[in-house]
Amino acid sequence: MANRPNIGIAGIGTYIPQNYMTAEQISAATNGVWSAQAVADKLGIIRKPIAAPHEGTQELGYLAAQKCIQNAGIDPAEIDVILCMGEEYKEYPLTTSALYIQDKIGAVNAWGIDVQNRCCTTVSAIKIAKDMLLADDEINTILIAGGYRNGDFIDYADSNVSFMFNLADGGGAILLKKNHNRNLVLGTHIIADASLARTAAVEIGGQVNPITSANVEEAQKSLRLLDAEAMKHRLNEVSMPNWYKCIDRAFEKSGMTRAAMDYLAILHIKRSGHEAMLKELGLQPYQSTYLENYGHLGQIDQLLSLELALNEGKVRDGSVVCMLSAGIGYVWAANVIRWGNKA
């Protein structure tokens, strides 16, 4: 174990579109069922980025990957593997997003594959990448990248999906290197509750309910709860306990306790939930970033939060960071990162 390689973060990059949807516009889209004040105060959305028509999921992933490579200062030819954590909703179905990104950035020596765990995918992909780097002597550098714009499917008149009114658009990327000796990725813990596998989905457009001439307009706004009562009841029962278990187990695997946490890179959730999480963990507001000006960019949130924290000095050398995520399906995950030089 003494000679085991370390896996470190060599770069991060995000791409945030220039257009935004405001709390007032979200309120109007709900036909006033949600006031702008309630959207801002309860849902925690002041505004959220909206991609331009040409900024599809794969393109958003590429734009973020490009920034990540620039920030890391590496030659794309050094990349051995690309794990795309971008969403399945993309420019062309049945194309591999990792390979689109590979071509655009010029990673001529890499191979790529798409992985999916909904809004948990980045944390899950970081674990996959770390395990690959430790297991394969020929893999030294892995790029994780992808885009997100599932908000296109939201029907703001559907009160059952108000918790998804925060869905926003953007791209994110993170570069992991073997024996980087900085920004080490430590323990990760993931929990799944498969009883919720089909409680939420884009209802129209798959094999069960194909798009037809009669439902084509409805299909474009059909991200729904397929079993609202079951999902609400089960989530209320298990979500917070699973999150805290993931946190504690990730820190245990890292040889620490949650008391060591300096910064929480958490996905965007309703404001009261965010505040309750910080209180339970004994953290002050400055030890996290509430993404009220970005909304929920799916699996990009943790990367965006960490990037903002680095820019604002909330994370510095020596900081212990916890990335926390959850994805419909349902999956919860946490990891631990020690920022700065290897101890």
The string of pLDDT tens digits covering residues 27-39 is 999 999 999 999 9
**DSSP per residue, 295-313:** -B-GGGHHHHHHHHHHHHT
Task: Tell me the Cα Rg of the chain.
Answer: 19
Mean pLDDT by 10 residues, the chain (343 residues): 86 98 98 98 98 98 98 98 98 98 98 97 98 98 98 97 97 98 98 95 97 97 94 92 98 98 98 97 98 98 98 98 97 98 88
Q: Which two tokens stand for residue 77?
A: 């030819």
What's the pLDDT at 225? 96
Spatial neighbors of 325 by CB under 8 A, at least 6 apart, are: 119, 120, 122, 123, 266, 267, 299, 301, 302, 332, 333, 334
Count other C-beta atoms under 10 Å from residue 249's C-beta: 16
What's the pLDDT at 230? 86
Distance from C-alpha of 40 to C-alpha of 293, rounded to nearest angstrom: 10
Cα angle for residues 148, 34, 53 (degrees, 5° grid):
30
Closest by alpha carbon to 325, among 280, 265, 252?
265
Q: Is the peptide bond before 330 cis (omega within 30 degrees of 0)?
A: yes
- Residue 36 contacts residue 27 (beta carbons within 8 Å): yes
Instruction: Decide the pairing of beta strands 81-84 and 141-148.
Output: parallel
- Residue 149 contacts residue 89 (beta carbons within 8 Å): yes
By residue count, the chain amounts to 343
Q: Which two tokens stand for residue 167?
A: 């869905």
6 phi, psi to nearest 5 deg: -100, 155
- Residue 203 contacts residue 100 (beta carbons within 8 Å): no
What's the pLDDT at 321? 98
Listed in sequence order, the DSSP H helices in 211-300 are: 216-219, 228-253, 271-281
What's the pLDDT at 2? 57
Q: Which two tokens stand for residue 188?
A: 């990760």
Q: Which whole-number Å values give the CA distances from 108 to 76, 78, 86, 192, in the listed order?
A: 8, 9, 20, 36
